[in-house]
Amino acid sequence: MKHVEKYTRQYFLPPVFMSDWVRKDHLDRPPIWCSVDLRDGNQALIEPMGLEEKLEFFRMLVEVGFKEIEVGFPAASETEYDFMRALIDRDMIPEDVTVQVLTQARPHIIKKTFEAVKGAPHAVIHLYNSTSVAQRNVVFRKNKEEIRKLATEGAKMLLDLAEKTEGDFSFEYSPESFHGTEVEYGLEVCNAVLDIWKPSADRKCIINIPGTVETAMPHVFASQIEYISKNLKYRDNVILSLHPHNDRGCAVADAELCCLAGVERVEGTLFGNGERTGNVDLVTLAMNLYSYGVDPGLDFSDMPKVRGTYERLTQMRVPARQPYAGDLVFSAFSGSHQDAIAKGMAARERETQGEPWTVPYLPIDPKDVGRNYDKDVIRINSQSGKGGVSYILQHNFALTLPAKMKESVGYAIKQVSDETHQELSPDEVYKAFRARFVDPMPYFAVEDAEFKRMGEAVVAQVEIRRGDHVSKVEAIGNGRLDAASNAVKEFFGVSYELVAYEEHTLSRGSASKAIAYVGISTSERDFWGAGINEDILTASIHALCVAVNQLPKIAAQDKSADARLTDMLDFIRKNYRNVTLETMSKTFHLSEPYVSKYIREKSGKTFGEHVTAERMKRAKGLLKNGVATVESIAYESGYANVEHFNRTFKRLFAMTPLAYRNKENGLPVDKKRRKS
C-alpha cells in the first residue's frame, strides 16, 4: 500500500521491560467486572438510548450479575443526568451494586457530577484527563507539569465535594490515551493523584489504565501494566483496572494478558460495543474463563435473551461470528467437522456425568448458553457430509441410518443443497431423505405378499404392480424378505445381492411405526431404500422396492412408461385418504375433467377406482395385522362413513371386513376375532 512511510509505532515501552506475567499460562479467577455499556457504549450509538431504555438495560446488567456499572457522564446531557437521578430517586440500585459516573478534570463538570450523584448509596466518581504526547501538544497545548496539575486539582476537588455531598463515594482515576503516554509519566500522574486521595484498606481507590486507542501489541501492554502495578504507591489499597479498546482487534488478548500482569478489574461492554472499533467484549472474556472451568461470576446461560435485549435497545447487531453469541459460532457446515462433532456427541452420551467437555470443534456445550444442538450446531449445506446429515436425521426424526448407508444419504442431501444453493433446515433434510430413499417407486411396487413355510425355506407369493398391470410371482428364499427379493429378481430378470438390512422402531404405543433399511449391491454400486410402516415386513419390502427401482436395468425396461401417469398414481397412493380431483388439478396444473380423462385413458381405470384400490389395500393390511375396530380402520383408510366402507369392501371382496379378518387369521368367517 502507498503512504506507509507516514506511520510508525505510537506506544512507549517501560524503562524496564517486565515479563513475570509470561510465566503464567491461565487465569484462575475472574477480575472485577465493570460494565460501561451505559456510558462508553451508549455514546457510540447512532441513536443513544433514552431514559426508559437505559433503565431496562441497567436492569439487564444487574440480572446478568454486574456489581459495578458505569451509568453515564451526568454533566454531558440532561438524559445522562436524569438517568442518574432516576436510579437514585426510584431506589433502583441494589445494595451489592456500585454505580459509576465519569467526569473530566474540570471544575464545573465535577460540580455537576456531584449534583447528579447526591444521595447515591455508593458511587464511584471516575476522574480522567488525557496524558498522551499528542493530546498535550495538539489539543491542550500544555506541558507535563500543567497536565499533572489538571489531574491533581481535579482529585482535590473530588475529595472536597465528596465530604460535602450526601452519599457514599469512592474514586477512580484514568490517564486517558495511555498508549500514547510515556509509561513513567503516566505512572507519575497516577501516583500524584493517589498522594492526594491517600487510599486505605477501608477506602480503596481505582487506578484505571485505558487503552483509549489500541496501538501496542498485547504483550507490550502487559509489560506496561506490570511496570505500573509494581510501581504504584499505596499498592495494597489500589485496585488496578483496565479499559481496553479494540482498534487493532486485540482487546480480549490485551485484557487477558494484562490480568496476568496484575490487573484486578476490567471495564468493557457487552459484545464489544463502543467508539470506533469498540471496547473489550466482556461476554467473550467471561466465557473464555468459563471454558477453562472458572466461574466468571456473570450469568450468560440465556445468551439469546441477553443478545436480544441488547440488540433491541441499542439497535446494534451482534455479528454471526461473534464468539459465544453469534448465530453461527457453534455451527458446522463442513462434512469432516460435522462427523467429528457427531462422534464426539455420541461419546459424550456414553460418558458418566462429570467428565470434562471434550467434543471436537465445540469449546463449550452450546446448551450452557441457551443454544440448541439441532438448530445451532449441525447445519446442512453443500459442504456437509454424512456425519452431519445422519446426526440431523437421528436427533430430529429418530432415524438411525446403517453405517454403510450414511455416505449415500449424505451425498444425496448435499446434492439437494448444491442444486438449490441454500442451507437445508432439518425438515428439509427429512423431506429430501424421503424423496430419495422412501417415496420413489417410479417403475414398480409390490402390491401384496403372502408367505408360507416349506421345510426350512419360505415361499413368497408376490403381487408386483407395473403401470396398470399386476402380476403374481412365486419364489423361495431363506426368509420372508429374501423370498420377496427373489420374486422381484425373477420377474425383472435382474441380479443383485441383498447386502444390508436393519430396522428399528420410530415411536412407542399401539400405533407405533417402524423403519426398515435395505441395501442391495450390483457389480457397479450399492443402492439403498427405506420403508416406514406399522408392520415391519411391509416396511422391509417397501425399502427393497425403493432400492431395486434405482437399478438401471429396471429403468431400461420401462421405456413405455408414462411419466405423468406415474406421477399421478404416485400422488394418489401417497394421499389416498383425502385426495380429490380438485387437489389433483391444483397439483398438476390441469383441469379436473382433463385429469379424470387422462387417468382413465392411460391406465384403464377411473380416478375413483384408483383411490378405492389404494384405500382397500390400506384397509386389508390393517384388518390382517391388527385388532383395530372397523370404524377406526374405515377412518384410517379414508372413509368418513363406516357403512360406506363396509358396502364397498363387501362389493369388492364378497365378504365383510370382519369376515376377511377372520379368514386371514385362520378363524371361521362367521366368528369375531377375540381381542387378547
Identify which of 103, 28, 92 has the alpha carbon closest to the alpha carbon of residue 61: 92
State the burial class of residue 201 (Cβ atoms within 10 Å of its Cβ: 0-12, 13-18, 19+). Answer: exposed
Please indicate if the annotation marks 542 as binding a ligand. Answer: no
Pairing of strands 457-466, 445-454: antiparallel
Question: 482 vs 440, 450, 451, 485, 519, CA distance in Å?
Answer: 21, 13, 11, 5, 12
Sheet with 526-533, side-by-side order of all strands: 497-505, 514-521, 526-533
Please indicate if the annotation marks 279 as binding a ligand. Answer: yes
Q: Compute how many other C-beta atoms are within 10 angstroms of the C-beta atom of residue 86.
A: 16
Handedness of CA 647, 653, 655, 658 (dihedral sign): negative
Pairwise CA distance, residues 300 & 316, whole Å = 19
Q: What's the one-letter identity of residue 256?
A: E
State the burial class of residue 354 (Cβ atoms within 10 Å of its Cβ: 0-12, 13-18, 19+). Answer: exposed
Pairwise CA distance, residues 566 & 441, whole Å = 9
Please indicate if the annotation marks 195 as binding a ligand. Answer: no
Question: 184 vs 31, 87, 205, CA distance in Å?
Answer: 25, 39, 20
Please indicate if the annotation marks 122 as binding a ligand. Answer: no
Contacts made by residues 59-63, CB under 8 angstroms, sequence distance 24+: 59/92, 60/306, 60/309, 60/310, 61/35, 61/37, 62/94, 62/97, 63/299
State the burial class of residue 125 (Cβ atoms within 10 Å of its Cβ: 0-12, 13-18, 19+). Answer: buried
Containing 282, the helix (H) or strand (E) segment is: helix 282-291
Say how many residues make up the chain: 676
Identify which of 35, 212, 38 has the alpha carbon closest to the alpha carbon of residue 128: 212
Contacts made by residues 142-148, CB under 8 angstroms, sequence distance 24+: 144/185, 147/189, 148/188, 148/189, 148/192
Q: Is 190:183 a contact under the CB 8 Å cutoff?
A: no
Query: DSSP label at 135?
Result: I
Known binding residues for Mg(2+) = 40, 243, 245, 279
Known binding residues = 40, 243, 245, 279
